[in-house]
Amino acid sequence: MHTLALPTLPVKHARTIAYGLALACTPLAPLPSDAFTYDTQAGPVVVQHQSMGTPLVWPALPIRLRLELGGAWDDHAATALAAWNAVAPLFVQHSTALTVIRWADPAAGEVLGLQVAQTRKDYVTRSGTLVVTRATVLLNPAFCWDAYAGPLRSTLCQGQWEPLLDIQRVILHELGHVAGLEHPDDGGHVVRAIMNHSVSDLDELTPDDEAGLHFLYPAGAPAPSGVPQAVTQGHQGSGGGGGGCAVGTGASPDLLLCVLGPLVVLVETLRQAARG
């Protein structure tokens, strides 16, 4: 694993700020063997699509969730859930779970636009570290859905020729977000993975997806302890970044993180300079 060493000689504050800005706006160096990415914490900011640093994960397993898609859709979602559980016993269905997979409700303001699906996460602070406390997976009812294997299909949907979405591969992707995985291709990697930004002909987990899950939740790792101190703003993806899942390549909201991240670095550097 690559690490960054602190300088042993004094450095100018301007140079420190410049390095901080470059680091905040550039994906961190990838792990040697795998390309999976995840979220990390930079002060109060959630930084996406990283391959180094401490991942933001659930404090304890299994993750309880409930399915509210209805009818056979829930059966297909359960199949996707079982695929992840075959890699590691991560999820368990529970009727009162706060984490839910359901259709978005446009009447309630849940308009996903061109996004196929979106995963929203809430965090709490425990012992100074953010941990996931709840997730909501929303599927876009404006698209046409089915369940099938193999290459993506198209269909006549609402008078237009559109992609026919396979619910299992989409939920496979979103469950990866629930667990804490992000988009390898948005982190600058070229890899075959269900966790890539866009829905593709791939319909199953790959070794990279599995390696990512094992990295986030290594066997026997102790769960973080502590009492929740503060609820942070929900982590919401848009356009395919940060939990969103798109049919085609879309714009990522990482520009916002690229602005907030450097500000955090800048404020901290100026604070240290004032103390010095």
Residue 216 belongs to domain with CATH number: 3.40.390.10
Residues 6+ apart with CB under 8 A from 176: 84, 194, 195, 209, 212, 213
**Does the residue 248 lie in any domain?**
yes
**Does the residue 9 lie in any domain?**
no
42-73: b (≥16 Cβ within 10 Å) or e: beebbbbbbbbeebbbbbebebebebebeeeb
Q: Position 36: which residue type?
A: F
**Does the residue 28 lie in any domain?**
no
What percent of the chain stands above pLDDT 90? 62
pLDDT, one tens digit per residue, over 137-187 is 999 999 999 999 999 999 998 888 999 999 999 999 999 999 999 999 999
**Does the residue 123 lie in any domain?**
yes
**Does the pLDDT value for residue 261 go beyond 90?**
no
228 or 43, which is more confident? 43
Task: Domain count for the chain, please give it.
Answer: 1
13 or 92, which is more confident? 92
pLDDT, one tens digit per residue, over 151-164 is 999 999 888 899 99
**Does the residue 19 lie in any domain?**
no
**Does the residue 24 lie in any domain?**
no
The pLDDT of residue 8 is 36
**Does the pLDDT value for residue 242 go beyond 90?**
no
Domain span including residue 209: 55-252
**Does the residue 147 lie in any domain?**
yes
**Does the residue 40 lie in any domain?**
no
